[in-house]
Amino acid sequence: MFPITTTIILLAGLSFFGFTIYRWVGVFQKMRSQRLEINLPERVRGLFKIAIAQSRLLSKRDFWPGLMHAVIFWGFCVISLRTITLFGMGYVEGFYLPFMHTILGDLYNLTLECVLLLVSIAIGYAFYRRIFSKPIRLTLSWEGLLILGFILTLCLTDFIFEGARMGLGEAKNPMWSPISYLLGSLMLGLPPAFLKIVSGSAYLVHLAIILVFMNFLPYGKHFHVITSLINVFLRRLRPYGALEAINLEDPNATSFGAAKLEDLTWKQILDVATCTECGRCTVSCPAWSTGKPLNPKMISVQLQEHLREQYSLLPSLILGAHAKTNGGEAATEEKFLSPHVIDPEVLWSCTTCRACEEACPVMIEYVDRIVDMRRHLVLVQGSMPVEVQTTFRNMETNSNPWGLSFDDRANWCKDMGVKTLADHPTAEVLYYVGCAGSFDDRNKKIATALVKILQKAKVDFAILGKEEGCTGDAARRIGNEYLFQSLAKTNIETMNRYNVKKVLAACPHCFNTIKNEYPQFGGNYEVMHHTDFVNQLLEEGKIKPVKPLPKRITFHDSCYLGRYNGIYDQPRNLLKSIPGAEVTEAPLSKDNGRCCGAGGGRMWMEEKIGTRVNHKRLEDLQEANPEIIASACPFCLTMLKDATHDKHLEEQIETKDVIEIVAESLG
């Protein structure tokens, strides 16, 4: 039909696109290597569930905008066959793929017409949201409106092209293309020469937009149209609770943590490039929702801008920055990612709760990037909140954040007949008490309740006593990898000396660290959280709650128990086993729950900006009208107890650990 014009458009578009992608690949090759877990079936399953079926967009949070985006994506999938057909028509008039002459082709034409209509409606809704509704999580940009205009034009030109062909009597099976047929009916009687011009113009505009659209994508936030499927397929399969270890003895290391772009892994840069700027991460972030400077979306945006400044392969037409080099070589002027690109206060605001990652429709990770930048601040720049210095010093000298004598670790149970591994080295279970259970007066009650349950169920257990040390969770997430590894290796050496096989932890932070991070240093154990362990005792009939508790109980999910390790049902099962208890759910719960504000080392930092996160979380939980707020984490219990105290609600709302409630019900 237009062989020369089609060839020129095709060659120009594909050549420029290939050149752009080649230079992008060059950027990825400059980044730090990252090995991925090989599990092809799981990767394929995730690709279809998350990327193709758009499961995260169609979750209960923000369903209608998610459906809008899903319709546009599915429309692209359906239109892809149409694109092949259209380019074929450029060389052979009336070109069709082989199956298009069958009933399958008729069904495809009908599906295509319906999809084009639905996509047009979805685009209209998208325009309305950006221009009139203006949800807070979206950033209005001309680029977004231009992309929507491209997609809408593709739909309209396809209808016009087919309608004009029907007006000329060229299209087959018009009844399978009802919208185009209706449009063609309106064109009946127009001069054939005019219809030829309309058809040809619509066709060429359609092809030009496809190739312009494709080449425009890598230079702006809509690069995710290309990279999202790749990013989901290459998503993390290893436990989310395992931060990458730094080789502190590497003789070639000149720095630790993420000082510059090249210190990030190629997968982290792919995450940055894949950000859709939808803002779902931002509205899920407990720091952002309480007035802190952290905005997860903007971390990706700022790193994108920095990438465009540092590498000329990414012309800054979209963002207005100025590329500093040619040929894809890094700029000579070095900037640290923090403080030059990301304000340190942004990084210190993070609770590492993973709410942003759970909300992201394309599986972007933020926590590892944030911790990597914290590592450079702490280990190299020596920059950290002043109060954290005391916490580190306490961990170094007495292996607990409070700085209390490690000789007093077992004082809480001295009259309970609890054995240590030194006295009972063949114990089946090591109860890893943790710093909170050992030293904090409120959390000692939880440790005492758990021991009563274990003794009642005749569990063969022991503790380490004064041989136990801090697991180092807070040190690692604040950025002090050196201190973490020192603490971890000491604990692992002790547990391995006793040939420990099974570990029980009441603190989700201890549980996560021993389970997911200690294997990096030779500490391989079967690790269980106390709610999971006690739930097993309940299911095995070794304990049975009998004392009624006729109160409304709402459970608060710990981030390191739930989002990090998938433990949601076990604590709820325990609460439901209590006679007379009414277990209610807060609107924000399970994977959609809000952090208490203590994770990521925030437990040991002052909260000076905005509303307190624990106050915000208390407001969430109050929507369930609880008489008791139950938790399963010493940090969460402390934060929620402080919130009820600050709000003068201690007499109306009790704060307890799930295990305390179970122990009381055993009689």
Residue type at 594? R
Residue 40 placed within a domain: no
CA dist., res. 624 & res. 587, Å (int): 8
Task: Give strand pairing partners of 655.
Answer: 629
E strands along 351-486, which residues? 429-432, 461-462
CA dist., res. 222 & res. 233, Å (int): 18
Do 320 and 184 share a domain, yes or no? Answer: no
Residue 175 placed within a domain: yes
Do 374 and 440 share a domain, yes or no? Answer: no
Q: Percentage of residues in the chain with pLDDT exceeding 90?
A: 78
Do 325 and 403 share a domain, yes or no? Answer: no
The DSSP H or E segment spanning 231 is helix 224-233
Residue 532 placed within a domain: yes
Mean pLDDT of 37-53: 95
Do 526 and 391 share a domain, yes or no? Answer: yes
Give CA separation, 501 vs 170, 425, 458, 467, 497, in Å.
Answer: 76, 11, 18, 17, 11
Residue 134 placed within a domain: yes
Q: Give the confidence band of 505 by pLDDT, cuts at 50, 70, 90.
A: very high
Mean pLDDT of 607-628: 97
Q: Give the confidence band of 172 by pLDDT, cuts at 50, 70, 90.
A: low
Number of domains in the chain: 3
Q: Is the pLDDT of residue 328 over 60?
A: no
- Tens digit of each residue's pLDDT (9 = 90 or more) over 190-207: 899 999 999 999 999 999
Out of 334, 365, 380, a domain closes at 380
Residue 536 placed within a domain: yes
Q: Give the confidence band of 221 by pLDDT, cuts at 50, 70, 90.
A: confident
Do 518 and 666 share a domain, yes or no? Answer: yes
* Cβ proximity of 468 and 432 under 8 Å: yes
Mean pLDDT of 100-119: 89
- Tens digit of each residue's pLDDT (9 = 90 or more) over 257-286: 999 999 999 999 999 999 989 999 999 999
Do 206 and 100 share a domain, yes or no? Answer: yes
Do 494 and 526 share a domain, yes or no? Answer: yes
What is the token pair recorded at 579?
């006679």
Out of 348, 365, 380, a domain closes at 380
- Tens digit of each residue's pLDDT (9 = 90 or more) over 74-92: 998 888 888 888 888 888 8
Q: Is the pLDDT of residue 647 over 70?
A: yes
The pLDDT assigned to 171 comes to 66
The pLDDT assigned to 61 comes to 74
Do 375 and 418 share a domain, yes or no? Answer: no
Do 357 and 394 share a domain, yes or no? Answer: no
Mean pLDDT of 344-363: 97
Backbone φ, ψ for residue 334 (5° rounding): -90, 135
CA dist., res. 3 & res. 123, Å (int): 32
SS3 letters across 193-228 = HHHHHHHHHHHHHHHHHHHHHHHHHHHCHHHHHHHH
Count CB-CB contacts under 10 A for residue 235: 21
CA dist., res. 247 & res. 537, Å (int): 40
Mean pLDDT of 396-421: 95
Q: Indicate which CATH number applies to the domain containing 305.
A: 1.10.1060.10
CA dist., res. 510 & res. 507, Å (int): 5
Mean pLDDT of 629-646: 98
Out of 358, 380, 402, a domain closes at 380
Q: Is the pLDDT of residue 623 over 50?
A: yes
Cis peptide bond N-terminal to 339, omega within 30:
yes
Stretch among 102-111, 234-243, 279-288, 637-646 having the lowest mean pLDDT: 102-111
Task: Give strand pairing partners of 503.
Answer: 430, 527
Do 361 and 493 share a domain, yes or no? Answer: no
Residue 163 placed within a domain: yes
The pLDDT assigned to 546 comes to 96
Residue 180 placed within a domain: yes
Do 321 and 444 share a domain, yes or no? Answer: no
Do 475 and 622 share a domain, yes or no? Answer: yes
Domain range enclosing 337: 261-380
Q: Indicate which CATH number applies to the domain containing 82.
A: 1.20.950
If DSSP codes are grouped into helix, strand and coil, which group holds residue 153? helix
What is the token pair recorded at 278?
């939808």
Q: Is the pLDDT of residue 646 over 60?
A: yes
Residue 584 placed within a domain: yes
The pLDDT assigned to 97 comes to 80
